[in-house]
Chains A and B, each alone.
Chain A
């Protein structure tokens, strides 16, 4: 094939080592709030065909202090499809003089097998360097070729907080007969220049100042400049693909990676049919099949070649009774099909940051698979890698984001389940009996929604770990002695019920005739966001929740309240908080507390309001009453 290369109006200059990277050349504005300065970050992707591309890059980073070292990024991943052609690092001193040189063989070569993975053929080479002085500069040049063009690297002009950039350039060049798509984000505010045509594109930016991270930031990728790329015809671990829409992506995944991997032996088919033969209710069938999967399989991941994308067959999972997310999802789909229920293999970007697959930019994305089961207009969700999570429950790993449903008709973008704050609820009721030296508390905590997510794992913990958990949960109470505890996980109603009784002699303050007691002994919210300095970005609160507390407080004999709590009732855009303490009888008081935190995106100017709201809560939760001996 003949290739036509593009001469872009930013010339791709391969800077020589005579380039001056001394520290004093850095503009003072780029040193503010930075741990490191990227002097040059330049990358060129040369696509030669749908199954061959070459990525050449040079990255020069001046590290100013210890925390800056993580920005060097002297790392390259490789596997059977990806081979490293060049890899070299030069270390320069503050004056820009070369002091050390690392060739490819001096890089550490390691398996890139992640946690929870039994085996993977992916490997990594990285530089281990102990700096002797700051600042120092690393000049990293690397080049690799790969047949996996399904993943075009996403280019970030700035890759993290506390990092400034002198110059960042990115180029793509490809034959004119190859079609590609791209999407660039947040370029304008950062002054990125660009040019593009049918045989490539080119970007350049200079002098990006360091960004500071702030509490409740939006995701970095949502405000930092970056470019996404995809080829219309691509290649993945020996498999060809073509897609420009999510529908086409779904078709490709279905046809190339899932088809004919759902066969089951007749014995297993019969077994699963028997399991549901006495019920007509599809929901009950789903519940039983899911329970069967949970009882009989476990999560083990083996990633080799296309195995990183293609599930192991249902038959194979049936034999070994383990698999990764893809294998177990495909297996559950096959079992459901055997009892006449259609379900959809679904791809998601799984982690608590709630990242959606990019609705506007169809490309190979996501890192996890789970199962979607539509049922009479309702969408049910099954997480097939967990042996304990209830059917149709999604935690922070996969909730509320765009995911790709894959089926014979292609792909479809849908939103996974969202929990409203009122659904992520925790109700704490307790009887607190105060003695002159000791306090006894009998507590019940019910949790649902996202709050359930944080609790259901407790059921399987050892007695010792559960005790530790409570001592930590109530860590503002000194000297907790757990007398008994019981955690129930009701998987049908998706609720946990904890019953705990404890005593403590480390909570009351005593002074002569008086006792000081903070009524919120069981559900404090002490978190106060950091003091804001010129907040620049939106305030993003991803998930909301609701806490309701009611404690019946029994005073010791011959004591009365000398000074009580002020009733509080706060309402604002961020939520609601109310507290009251009322007398029930001569010796009994009732403490009620309600805290609602609403999710949302709020303007940068409201940060201090939010902080004050949380500050008020934190303070009120610590307020004490004074008891006086009669």
Chain B
């Protein structure tokens, strides 16, 4: 189907090119009045450097019998502080295939210090091989001081039309002016979209008649000439705790090649509509054919796996089998050459290979299973307006059994049936149904994710010791991480680490996993413990939270730029029953607390009571009922966490000697 790396180039018989001149453009090495007098950026006093000017132009041109995609780039950056010196180290990535490559054909660099101009010398531009597919041009500017303006300009020619992916308006430092131009002959169609919240100052698109002359054809092609400008672009505030990909918020113009009409007639479609995608997908030799390897899998697994039990049992058995059979090589690689059979033989594969093997096996067992493509949280949300295959970087199985749907990913050994790894909790994906049309499908994370402690404690006032048992119950995603810890750590090391984390006076007397209270999505562990030196003097001052879920508020910033996204809902619960020792009475107990977020978004509750038989009951619950909160909730969430930390760290029980 989608060929991200297909190269389109043409051999031409004649050499005659007509290109309409690009728009008037700022001359290299000449600063405008306002640029040379620029001293500080008032809108952002923290900026260490600022783009005064940035210009890009993309167009097609025939050179040496090939049609090249030309990129011209020109930038001027004012260095405001020493901390901004790093912006004078430039890297320009260049892509290549086996036989063709992108090339910088012209490049210039210059540092302005007032009237003094210092150029980057030719040997000071380095080309570095980075990997099989990439190299880069690296250079730095001479004579940099606070107040220098660095300026550079280059022209790149590319034989690849798909590497034209757009224009990044917003970066780590602010920009006063950023202009993007493109002139695209009608033969090439690119899907385009503007991301982020900033507005365009100039948004022009016009048809230029007969702008591209292709030798040997009768009519010249018309072009679409585009000009987009943004002004006063603020710096992009980088990542915060618990957020989705910054790609969702950064202002950027995205292009994706959707169609190329050959000058000889015939059309190469890349992506256009989901109908096209579906059609290509069904006849596709790559992923599509990989999904049709049912026979291979039937032959290579135990027949019982595919036939024994009802549908759900078979699906679960197959899922366990695939998880166990494969080791994930930490790669996603969903659009590259996938070899499901080889991966199966080698017992190792990328996300696509493992999950396609899973789908094949499910199909072989007569279970309705389809491929769903999605984007990981780091990647950003896929566009829903039109298919942009590059948006997707992950693939899972969607299984339908008896009216219920399950999403499966067999790359993580500890993931229960029906739960996706955290990296996949990114709202929705597209299910590629072989028999019908593809459709969007929501990723609904597991709902019960909790850490619970149920404790019973007694105080020994003579030994000044606290002892008892507690059950530690983890569910959902919390269970998955706990299981990974339990499976990969020796019990001795696990307990030692736990003791060290809680306190030096904390000793675990015994520990066991309660199998009768554990299942696929839940682990119950029982601990017998003692805490020494819990108090001094005659009165007993005691924090009833002998074990804490967390001691710090993960949110410390006073402001928040982006929504808070936890991926899934969470509950923390602590239930304690404590006996008051003979000869003592409860003098005071913590105050009850009850906080809620609007719309039932979250709860924090602390309830402490004493009963007649001389014991104390404590109930604490902290629940985040939503996976996603808009900025408006930020101060509320921060406060809720604050109260949760306070409850755990500062609660106090006073027992007095009678």
Question: Which residues of A come within 8 Å of B, CB atoms?
Answer: 66, 100, 108-111, 113, 118-119, 130-133, 295-296, 298, 300, 302, 319-322, 387-388, 460, 462-464, 468, 471, 475, 478-480, 506-514, 516, 528, 530-531, 563, 615, 618-619, 624, 626
**Taking the nearest CB of chain A, how far is it from the CB of B507, in angstroms?**
11
Query: Chain A residues with Cβ under 8 A from B589's Cβ?
Result: 511
Q: Are B129 and A111 in contact (CB under 8 A)?
A: yes
How many Å lie between the Cα of A228 and that of B650 in the bound state?
A: 57
5 A-B pairs within 8 Å (CB atoms) are namely A110-B131, A111-B129, A387-B82, A506-B645, A512-B654
Query: Chain B residues with Cβ under 8 A from A321's Cβ?
Result: 142-145
Query: Chain B residues with Cβ under 8 A from A475's Cβ?
Result: 552
How many Å lie between the Cα of A302 and that of B142 in the bound state?
A: 13
Query: Chain A residues with Cβ under 8 A from B500's Cβ?
Result: 530-531
Q: Are B654 and A511 in contact (CB under 8 A)?
A: yes
Q: Are A509 and B642 in contact (CB under 8 A)?
A: no
Q: Are B642 and A322 in contact (CB under 8 A)?
A: no
How many Å lie between the Cα of A387 and that of B591 in the bound state?
A: 54
Query: Chain A residues with Cβ under 8 A from B328's Cβ?
Result: 130
The answer, yes or no, to whether B46 is at the interface (CB within 8 Å) is yes
List the count of A-B residue pairs having beta carbons below 8 Å apart: 123
Q: Are A531 and B131 in contact (CB under 8 A)?
A: no
Q: Are B327 and A514 in contact (CB under 8 A)?
A: no
Question: Which residues of B come within 8 Å of A, CB atoms?
Answer: 46, 82-83, 85, 89, 118, 124, 126, 128-131, 138-140, 142-145, 326-330, 346-348, 488, 496, 500, 504, 536-537, 539, 541, 543, 552-553, 556-557, 587-591, 642, 645-646, 649-654
Q: Are A130 and B552 in contact (CB under 8 A)?
A: no
Q: Are B588 and A514 in contact (CB under 8 A)?
A: yes
How many Å lie between the Cα of A619 and that of B506 in the bound state?
A: 13
How many Å lie between the Cα of A508 and that of B651 in the bound state?
A: 9
Residue of chain B at shortest CB distance from A513 = B588
- Known contacts: A478-B552, A516-B541. The answer to whether A511 contacts B138 by CB under 8 A is no
How many Å lie between the Cα of A475 and that of B654 in the bound state?
A: 26
**Taking the nearest CB of chain B, how far is it from the CB of A134, in angstroms?**
10
How many Å lie between the Cα of A511 and that of B616 in the bound state?
A: 15
**Taking the nearest CB of chain B, how far is it from the CB of A395, in angstroms?**
18
Query: Chain B residues with Cβ under 8 A from A506's Cβ?
Result: 642, 645-646, 649-650
Residue of chain A at shortest CB distance from B331 = A130
Residue of chain B at shortest CB distance from A131 = B327
**Taking the nearest CB of chain A, how far is it from the CB of B131, in angstroms?**
7
How many Å lie between the Cα of A320 and that of B144 in the bound state?
A: 8
- Known contacts: A478-B553, A512-B654. The answer to whether A319 contacts B145 by CB under 8 A is no
Q: Are A512 and B46 in contact (CB under 8 A)?
A: no
Query: Chain B residues with Cβ under 8 A from A516's Cβ?
Result: 541, 652
**Taking the nearest CB of chain B, how far is it from the CB of A376, in angstroms?**
33
Query: Chain A residues with Cβ under 8 A from B131's Cβ?
Result: 108, 110
Q: Are B142 and A478 in contact (CB under 8 A)?
A: no
Which among B126, B537, B556, B651 is the interface contact of A509 at CB below 8 angstroms?
Answer: B651
4 other contacts beyond A320-B142, A510-B650, with CB at 8 A cut-off? Answer: A387-B82, A478-B649, A510-B652, A512-B654
How many Å lie between the Cα of A242 and that of B104 in the bound state?
A: 44
**Taking the nearest CB of chain A, how far is it from the CB of B268, in angstroms?**
33
Query: Chain B residues with Cβ under 8 A from A514's Cβ?
Result: 541, 588, 652, 654
Query: Chain A residues with Cβ under 8 A from B329's Cβ?
Result: 130
**Taking the nearest CB of chain A, how far is it from the CB of B330, in angstroms?**
7
Residue of chain A at shortest CB distance from B649 = A478
**Taking the nearest CB of chain B, how far is it from the CB of A3, in angstroms?**
36
Query: Chain B residues with Cβ under 8 A from A468's Cβ?
Result: 556-557
Which among B89, B118, B504, B552 is the interface contact of A319 at CB below 8 angstroms?
Answer: B118
**Taking the nearest CB of chain A, how far is it from the CB of B644, in angstroms?**
10
Q: Are B126 and A118 in contact (CB under 8 A)?
A: yes
Query: Chain B residues with Cβ under 8 A from A296's Cβ?
Result: 145
Q: Are A508 and B504 in contact (CB under 8 A)?
A: no
Q: Are B556 and A531 in contact (CB under 8 A)?
A: no
- Known contacts: A460-B83, A626-B541. The answer to whether A113 contacts B144 by CB under 8 A is no
Which among B142, B348, B650 is the interface contact of A132 at CB below 8 angstroms?
Answer: B348
Q: Are B590 and A511 in contact (CB under 8 A)?
A: yes
Query: Chain A residues with Cβ under 8 A from B654's Cβ?
Result: 511-512, 514
Residue of chain B at shortest CB distance from A618 = B504
Which among B140, B537, B642 is the interface contact of A300 at CB below 8 angstroms?
Answer: B140
Query: Chain A residues with Cβ under 8 A from B143's Cβ?
Result: 319-321
Query: Chain B residues with Cβ under 8 A from A100's Cβ?
Result: 346
Q: Are A298 and B85 in contact (CB under 8 A)?
A: yes
How many Å lie between the Cα of A563 and that of B656 in the bound state?
A: 14
How many Å lie between the Cα of A133 and that of B324 in the bound state?
A: 11
- Known contacts: A110-B130, A130-B330, A478-B649. The answer to whether A119 contacts B588 by CB under 8 A is no
Q: Are B496 and A531 in contact (CB under 8 A)?
A: yes
**Taking the nearest CB of chain A, how far is it from the CB of B550, in angstroms?**
11
Q: Are A463 and B649 in contact (CB under 8 A)?
A: no
How many Å lie between the Cα of A178 and that of B653 in the bound state?
A: 80
Q: Are B553 and A118 in contact (CB under 8 A)?
A: no
Q: Are A511 and B556 in contact (CB under 8 A)?
A: no
Q: Are A509 and B89 in contact (CB under 8 A)?
A: no
Q: Are B543 and A118 in contact (CB under 8 A)?
A: no
- Known contacts: A119-B126, A130-B329, A463-B46. The answer to whether A300 contacts B552 by CB under 8 A is no
Query: Chain B residues with Cβ under 8 A from A508's Cβ?
Result: 650
Residue of chain B at shortest CB distance from A111 = B128
Query: Chain A residues with Cβ under 8 A from B145's Cβ?
Result: 295-296, 321
Residue of chain B at shortest CB distance from A465 = B46
Q: Are A118 and B89 in contact (CB under 8 A)?
A: yes
- Known contacts: A132-B327, A463-B46. The answer to whether A118 contacts B642 by CB under 8 A is no
**Taking the nearest CB of chain A, how far is it from the CB of B646, in angstroms?**
5
**Taking the nearest CB of chain A, how far is it from the CB of B83, in angstroms?**
6
User: Taking each of A130, A388, A463, which has the highest tally of chain B beta carbons within 10 Å of its own beta carbon?
Assistant: A130
- Known contacts: A460-B82, A563-B537. The answer to whether A119 contacts B142 by CB under 8 A is no
Which among A109, A320, A511, A513 is the interface contact of B653 at CB below 8 angstroms?
Answer: A511
Query: Chain A residues with Cβ under 8 A from B346's Cβ?
Result: 100, 132
How many Å lie between the Cα of A619 and that of B536 in the bound state?
A: 13
